[in-house]
Amino acid sequence: MSKIIAFAGKGGVGKTTVATLVVRYLTSTGKSPVLAVDADPNSNLGETMGMNVTTTVGDIRENFMKDPQGVPSGMDKAIYIESLMNQAIIETPNFDLLVMGRQEGHGCYCMVNNILNNFTDSLASSYKYMVVDNEAGMEHLSRRTSGKVDILYLVTDYSLRGLRALRRIHGLLDGLKLSVKKMGIVVTRGPEKLSDIFLAEAKEIGIPILGVIPDDPALLEFDMEKRSLLELKDSSPSVVAVNRIMEASC
């Protein structure tokens, strides 16, 4: 069974960036096979990894829903949908990527979603790590990870507002039927020494701070040049920081 790593935190704090650098760490240290899952409907994990995504699970689901009777004769519906889903997995030499894409529209998607959940469950057994980058809210995480997460990184920028968002997310966890084995705070764009006020607020939440990722100008540069963050130098401050966090927590 694979280890599921997921991220939570308010919008724009750096979840996708950290998720990409986590994939970078896992593949560069031989902790493979890795499946990166882009579970954000406004997906961009593929972009940060420099990949051209043409097929998403959402597209496949919508196409199927348009013609649910289009299952080849004699073929089991679940097997047919799973075979379609397999087409959404983008393989690279170092890791695979699955992009969930758009969310379901109106109508009854229960059957397809059940098959999809079983499919993701069975995928989990083929990979050592699943790195799930999701959107800012937490609502979908439980649905998209079959309710189990091994490590949840609570990502915040260096602000009290960011920390308060984490407190709210933490408060939501129980109601989400999500079982989280281990969690910790990751501060992005933080200084070397965090202020006492910030540390005190974090202490009140009661979750350990696992590490601080400094402001890294190379991230903006790579974004502007549409380059994959997987190509960042080993010495880049963000890479060094994420590697350190992973070594300590994984």
The answer to the question of residue 215 lying near ligand ATP (CB under 6 A) is yes
CB 235 to ligand ATP: min, Å: 15
CB 227 to ligand ATP: min, Å: 11
Single-letter amino acid, residue 13: V
Residue 168 makes CB contacts below 8 A (sequence gap 6+) with none
Return the residue of 9, 10, 13, 16 that touches Mg ion, per CB under 5 A: 16
Residue written as tokens 């890791």? 95
Q: Is the separation of the CB atoms in 154 and 164 below 8 Å?
A: no
Partner whose footprint covers residue 12, from Mg ion, ligand ATP, none (CB < 5 to 8 Å by kind): ligand ATP
Nearer to ligand ATP, 142 or 188 (CB): 188
CB 126 to Mg ion: min, Å: 25
Residue 175 makes CB contacts below 8 A (sequence gap 6+) with none
Contact code string over 108-147 relative to ligand ATP, x by CB under 6 A: ----------------------------x-----------
Return the residue of 120, 188, 236, 243 that touches ligand ATP, per CB under 6 A: 188
Q: Is the separation of the CB atoms in 164 and 67 below 8 Å?
A: no
What one-character-per-residue DSSP string does 97-159 give? EEE--SPP-SS--HHHHHHHHHHHHHHHTT-SEEEEEE-SSSHHHHHHTTTEEEEEEEEEESS
Q: Is the separation of the CB atoms in 229 and 196 below 8 Å?
A: no
Residue of 146, 73, 149, 90 whose CA lies nearest to 116: 146
The answer to the question of residue 189 lying near ligand ATP (CB under 6 A) is yes
Nearer to ligand ATP, 154 or 178 (CB): 154
CB 121 to ligand ATP: min, Å: 25
Residue of 177, 179, 128, 144 whose CA lies nearest to 2: 128
CB 130 to ligand ATP: min, Å: 17
- Residues found near ligand ATP in the complex (CB under 6 A): 9, 11-17, 40, 136, 188-189, 213, 215-216, 219-220, 223, 238
- Residues found near Mg ion in the complex (CB under 5 A): 15-16
